[in-house]
Structure 1
């Protein structure tokens, strides 16, 4: 398991592109339509390097040698009122590597890194009824609801999406001080 900096992301863009294309070809709804060619998948990963360099995105890759068996990302919020939360994005495991605990390991890695970064709330969306739902439920994520016809699956068919969240650390709330009028004091 390796957290990729911007140069590492560029270095692993090819194997990550292969993983993305294989995952989409296998039917995973991760934002792309099938068939996803390697050139488009490679360009998508290369475009993420600036976000990694800026600290808006963290990406991990798991594998051995030059092959990538799985990946996960955290997209950090950029607004002052939402810096306590992050979105779990692009959790993918190569079809041949599934069923061996890699998805759980990737998920746990992202959760731990988020907590270390001061994030106390994670959220994600996944296709309703997908195998990923079992993973999130088993890992203690809470189902928040379903949005019908949210995204097209790789075949182009609109499918519902389930939203999940997980509190991963202490929630730090600042209580406004009232001045008797209900407004906050500076």
Structure 2
């Protein structure tokens, strides 16, 4: 009789092959579940990898509540990662809209797309110049929020300020950018 997931996870700290067995049992199901929910095979693959990376890192936290199966635990990790992915996507799309940036990837080899890209690149240069004119604390807060997709709590920690100060810096910076960019693009 083969060992349960719970037994394998207990052994995984001293026997890496034990975790490989858990991975082999569950990876395809986790990836299919993620792909069905996010609709993107590449994202599902990345999230599956992160699911198992977290499971390996936290194998000692596993509590056997389902007769030795790690399935509910793994799907819980995958679900949390998927929610975090969607949250970051929402932040990214919102920030791109506020900054007037393109929301969809570039389509190559189309004349109108090239013309649009050149226009956007021109706006990008204006935006870059406008960003450089912002006070450094606002510029850094915007970079953490928009480019790195961090939450305000994480920005506050990185900048050693309160969460309200982090929100204020991002808000003021975006307002300044929007005001400066209006009429120029």
* Higher relative contact order (CA closer than 8 Å, sequence separation 6+): 1
- TM surpasses 0.5: no
Which structure would you say has the larger Rg? 2
TM superposition score category, shorter chain reference? under 0.3
Scaled by the length of structure 2, the TM-score of the pair is 0.28
Q: Which one has a larger percent strand, Structure 1 or Structure 2?
A: 1
Scaled by the length of structure 1, the TM-score of the pair is 0.27
